[in-house]
Structure 1
Amino acid sequence: MNFSYREDQQDLRRLTAQIFDDRLTDDFRRDFSRSGEPYDRSLWRTLAQAGLLGTAIAEAQGGSGLGLTELCLLLEEQGRTLAPVPLLATLVLGALPIQKFGSAAQQTALLPGVASGDLLLTAALEEIGGGDPSRPAVKATASAEGWRLRGVKSCVPYGAQAQAILVTARIGRKSTGVFLIDPQAKGVRIQPQATTSGEPQALVTLSNVRVPAADVLGDIQAGESIVDWIVERGQTALAAQQLGLMAEALRRTATYTGERVQFGRPIGSFQGVQHRLADAYIDVEALRSVYLRAVWALENDLPASAEVAVVKWWAARGGHRVTHTAQHLHGGLGADVDYPIHAFFLHAKQIELALGAAAPMLAKIGTQLASGAVRPLT
């Protein structure tokens, strides 16, 4: 496994970082969080004009034809800068599975609009009460015209802004499918939900929603594996955001403790503070290690269920520890909403719980270890 990035990948990261850094000052983020806008439309247009929204979209649909590795570079930079744009929802949960499993008609109808910045996508994976996102409770029933969907999805990122939503649903007792729905379709009700980070999310209620057969994503017989494919990439993408976020929170905290003087010396010189920072650094680098391994495995279409569970566990627990350390070592500033460090804490908490918190990930890892399902990557 070669974890070094190619020159073109490094160029993509630098371009993304430059675009975000040029716009996303601490003052801008603070003011934007109070504006009531769901996302930064101007920044979204800039990303489209730079060709970044088409990173993992095929050239035939107006993209660059790259993959998950490059998408995760964008998401690391988004986590670092807390950029208020729907990258994960649109590019990872929406466009990536349509590019992989969608019909030619679905790809033609949706992906060029994503690459141009004119169309937002998302996926409804989570449900009220949590549970395994790979095992949905929403029901899909075959009908004369295709399918009918009934149930409720919760915490749908940018659900009220997206022009199309991928919905996972249970078919009978054992099968699962993925369906493309129009948020304006009859029987679809979308209600905004309050979130920890301020990211727009929605409760999506499906009341006997008609879905034509042409709007099924991929082979209905392979629905369960498609759902797992989407969830694993979504969890890994969340870890990419968390990695960028944790590294930046640690950088800011190290800078602050080196400048804050108490008892005649910088507080960063105190052994107790150094221990907290050292532990946070270990968390950042541990997540980076397992994350790179998971991205490599997914990019090469290798089985990576255990690797992704480990990544999501580290993103949840490591993110929790690092941002708590950042809050504590900033003292009173950590609780000041006019100071930026609290925003890293809130976004990390959102990522910690999304698509599986630490406890269910640990249980999944334990089950796989006990069953002998985990195998070494070669």
Structure 2
Amino acid sequence: MDFSYTDEQQSIFDLAAQILTEGTPQARLLEIERADGPRFDPELWGRFGEAGLVGLAIPEANDGGGCGFVEIAGVMEQIGRTTAPIPFFETAVLGALAIAEFGNEDQKESILNDVAAGKRILTAALVEAETPLLEPRTQARSDAGGWILDGTKAFVPAAEIADQILVPARTEEGLAVFIVDRDAAGVSLERLSTTSRMPESMLRLEGVRLGAEALLGGADRGEEIVEFIELRANAALCSFALGVCEAALELTAEYSKTRKQFDQPIAMFQAVAHREADAYIDTQSVRLTALEVAWLIAAGRDAREAVSIAKHFASEAGYRVTFSAQHIHGGIGVDREYPVHRYYVHARHLELMLGGSSRHLQRIGRLIAENAA
């Protein structure tokens, strides 16, 4: 495996880093987080769309960049470094990739062209309380050539700013996925309070009527679509966690060089140096596992085991790195107006999003047992 980036890929990541760094000064992030609304910067999102970054992996036929998952992962890393309040993960990963892969030509043309221009926000409602992803309680029954949906979805990211939501539901034939307009009759949202202030909602569907064109990929391909989305979503979250770890570690290293005790920088003390070294090793573990799974997905190879390994490291190591960053900073590390606190709460949020370390270790065990049989 060769994880080195091409010149074109590096140019994409440099562009993303420039836009995100310029658009996320500390004062701007605090302004958004203190406002009574979702953690979302429409101006920064617009710049991302104008630069062609939202549509990176959308086919060129739909005005996208036609890139692969490595490019998606690299941009997610830059978003993690800045904790930028934009719905790239929800739109590009949870929504657009599945529509590009499973959608018909009408769905691609009517949705992806706007997504590529940054004019449409997507998300997916994969999670229900205490229910496996492939066994939702949400029901879809056929009616007069269309569908009627009823059910409740939990922790739907960016739902209140999304234009459309991908909703898995159980039909008589099995699991299916539907494209639901956020403002459709019968759709209601309840904003949830989250650790990182990332916008998430409860989604309630009460007699939501959909046309036949809302079905994504056919009534018998729901499990395939959900597994497709979950794999790429977890891989993207690992890249986001990498960016969080890198930025937290860099901030901490710089702080320890300038913060003095007993007339010398605290970086000179062995206990601090050892903790920073451990954080560096953890960050490199997150990096290598995240890069591997992105490479496997881009190459079209089986990445199920690799993504669970990566998510385990992203969850466990991400927590350790940001926890160490807070402790080395001392009292300022828990100041909600200081950047290191933001990295910590994002790491804790990611720790359990779409399955925590324990769940993914269990999945690794099952895959090993299956391969040994």
Measured against the shorter chain, the TM-score band is over 0.9
Instruction: Name the residue aligned to 1:253.
Output: 252
Letter in 2 for 1:341: V
Note the C-alpha offset of 1:283: 1.1
Instruction: Name the residue aligned to 2:209.
Output: 210
Q: Which moved more, 1:210-219 or 1:82-91?
A: 210-219
Letter in 1 for 2:181: D
TM-score by length of 2: 0.95
Letter in 2 for 1:122: T
What is the correspondence of 1:14-25 to structure 2 with a 5 Å cutoff?
Answer: 14-25=14-25
Q: Which moved more, 1:90-99 or 1:28-37?
A: 28-37
What is the correspondence of 1:125-274 to structure 2 with a 5 Å cutoff?
Answer: 125-129=126-130, 131-172=131-172, 175-274=174-273
What is the correspondence of 1:1-378 to structure 2 with a 5 Å cutoff?
Answer: 1-38=1-38, 39-129=40-130, 131-172=131-172, 175-372=174-371
5+ residue gaps, structure 2 = none
Conserved in 2, the CA contact under 8 Å of 1:180 and 1:215?
yes
SS at match of 1:346: helix
Note the C-alpha offset of 1:212: 2.3
Letter in 2 for 1:217: L
TM-score by length of 1: 0.94
| Distance in 2, Cα, partners of 1:227 & 1:119 | 21
Letter in 1 for 2:59: A
| Distance in 1, Cα, partners of 2:134 & 2:359 | 12
Note the C-alpha offset of 1:37: 4.4
Note the C-alpha offset of 1:149: 2.1
| Distance in 1, Cα, partners of 2:135 & 2:359 | 13
Note the C-alpha offset of 1:228: 0.3
Aligned-residue identity in percent: 40
Letter in 2 for 1:261: K
Conserved in 2, the CA contact under 8 Å of 1:56 and 1:64?
yes
| Distance in 2, Cα, partners of 1:333 & 1:135 | 44
| Distance in 1, Cα, partners of 2:220 & 2:301 | 21
| Distance in 1, Cα, partners of 2:335 & 2:353 | 25
Per-residue displacement from partner, 1:271-305 (whole Å, max 9, x unpaired)? 21122111111111111111111111111222211
Note the C-alpha offset of 1:373: 6.2
| Distance in 1, Cα, partners of 2:133 & 2:372 | 20
Q: Which moved more, 1:183-192 or 1:103-112?
A: 183-192
Note the C-alpha offset of 1:222: 2.3
Q: Which moved more, 1:185-194 or 1:10-19?
A: 185-194
Conserved in 2, the CA contact under 8 Å of 1:133 and 1:356?
no
Conserved in 2, the CA contact under 8 Å of 1:196 and 1:349?
yes
| Distance in 2, Cα, partners of 1:10 & 1:333 | 34
With over 3 angstroms needed to count, the CA separation of the structure-2 counterparts of 1:200 and 1:164, relative to structure 1, is same
Note the C-alpha offset of 1:27: 2.5
SS at match of 2:183: coil
SS at match of 1:330: helix
Note the C-alpha offset of 1:220: 2.4
| Distance in 1, Cα, partners of 2:140 & 2:360 | 27
Note the C-alpha offset of 1:139: 2.4
Letter in 1 for 2:287: R
5+ residue gaps, structure 1 = none
Q: Which moved more, 1:159-168 or 1:140-149?
A: 140-149
Note the C-alpha offset of 1:250: 0.7
SS at match of 2:216: coil
| Distance in 1, Cα, partners of 2:280 & 2:371 | 32
| Distance in 1, Cα, partners of 2:279 & 2:48 | 32
| Distance in 1, Cα, partners of 2:299 & 2:144 | 39
Letter in 1 for 2:5: Y
SS at match of 1:66: coil
Q: Which moved more, 1:36-45 or 1:348-357?
A: 36-45
SS at match of 1:221: coil
| Distance in 1, Cα, partners of 2:44 & 2:204 | 31
